[in-house]
Chains A and B, each alone.
Chain A
Amino acid sequence: MIYLELFTEFVKVGLFCVGGGYASMPLIQAQVVDIHHWLSMSEFVNIFTISQMTPGPIGINASTFAGMKIAGISGAIAATAGFVTPSLIIGIILARLFLKYGDIGIVKGALNGLRPAVIALICAAGISFIVLALWNTEGIPNKLLAFDFSGLIILTISIIAVKKNIGVILVLIGSGILGLFMGIGETMFFH
């Protein structure tokens, strides 16, 4: 039964995927390419690219797409359901514990320590996002002056839009449309 198998294999992926969507990639690769030979490596690379490109959580995108390639829509549902099952169980247990014991000093203390940590991680992510938007690279750019001009313009306009409080989703849609026009303009005038 391929669906049941997909489900159980993705339960394993979901259980050991710690630290965000990217962490799920090597695990999915191990399951669908190396162990079960459901997909070839080049098919898997496609899944990776598409999951990054499409909006939505990367881990869910990848599970859905892999399941889809292996066994159609029902496969997609089986893989995704498997992937979220560990989170579902652990999440409910944690939420119960926090509602019950959240007022206890130790738990409050731990959460007080985690809050500045998350702010730090948001700042670090912000900087890598800026690098990616302006230089199209991950890590430190080697040519500081060779930045992406249209990226700079879209980023500036988006920041102004954010400051004007036009709404988070409108900013995302607007920046997408702006990106389309900038890209078309650039190819018309510079190529």
Chain B
Amino acid sequence: MITKKFANKKPDLHFYWQLFKSTFLISAFTVGGGYVIIPLLKAKYVDEYGWLDDKETLSLVAVSQSMPGVVAVNASIILGYRMAGIKGTLTALLATVLPPLVTLSIIAYFYNFFAANRYIQYILKGMQCGATALIVNVAINMIKKEIEKKLLIPLLILTGTFIAALFFNINIMYLVFIDGLIGLFFLRAKKYN
């Protein structure tokens, strides 16, 4: 969220449509919690539109996770603002809120059918496996890149946070806060940027 690459570009209708379409799709396909948006964000904004790079995506997710609310909503609010100010934020927010509003209004009427239906369970189970494949792929690529950089402190942060989150169930808020502090004190040199 640091570069101002796009700050000078005047957003046109096509741009707002892209922003709306992409945040709408990301919201509609977030299956099973916040982390699934990472591969989605990467596919849309890094690979397809070129609005962000990998580093910015990670910063965006980190900030979205440390503020109150849901990661997908927070990410779209910040991204929308960065790309096109308040108008961008409102576009992205509306697009994020619409899919759940529509799906759940429909489902609320057919609740019993939906909850008990075996075929729907099968589809959801399948999508969950698909989401797993996406996350694992992103995780492996990111670790590879991080190891290639051969910087000690980031690798220590990575390992320590991983162990603390997976094996000790330490609250993510604390982890993010501590890692931010470590960065603030020890990672200010140019080579870490």
Contacts and interface: CB of A to CB of B under 8 A. Distances in A.
Do A and B originate from a single complex?
Answer: yes
A36 to B, nearest CB: 19
Given A20-B71, A158-B133, A114 B100 contact: no
Given A86-B68, A94-B63, A113 B183 contact: yes
B7 to A, nearest CB: 7
A133 interface: yes
A115 to B, nearest CB: 4
Interface string B127-145: 1111111111111001100
A173 to B, nearest CB: 8
Interface in B38-71: 38-40, 43, 55, 58-59, 61-63, 65-71
Interface string B160-174: 111001100001110
Contacts of A169: 25, 29, 40
- Secondary structure type dominating chain B contacts: helix
A19 to B, nearest CB: 5
A49 to B, nearest CB: 6
B132 A109 contact: no
B34 A20 contact: yes
Interface residues of B, number: 106
B38 to A, nearest CB: 6
A122 interface: yes
B179 A109 contact: no
Contact of B104 (A16, A76, A167): A76
A30 to B, nearest CB: 16
Contacts of B123: 176-177, 179-180
Nearest to B151: A116
Contacts of B72: 57, 60
B154 A109 contact: no
A178 interface: yes
B161 to A, nearest CB: 4
Given A88-B89, A113-B157, A76 B125 contact: no
Interface in A44-64: 46, 49-50, 52-61, 64
A92 B186 CA distance: 28
Given A109-B185, A115-B62, A168-B134, A120 B162 contact: yes
A162 B69 contact: no
Contact of A117 (B34, B104, B157, B193): B157
B133 A159 contact: yes
A32 interface: no
A83 to B, nearest CB: 8
Nearest to B101: A64
A22 B158 CA distance: 24
Contact of B135 (A53, A103, A126, A178): A126
A118 interface: yes
A112 B187 contact: yes
Given A56-B100, A110-B180, A172-B31, A180 B188 contact: no
Give the top 3 A-B pairs by smallest Cβ distance, nearest first: A179-B126, A113-B183, A175-B130
10 contacts: A19-B171, A50-B114, A56-B100, A64-B104, A92-B89, A111-B183, A132-B128, A151-B129, A159-B136, A187-B118
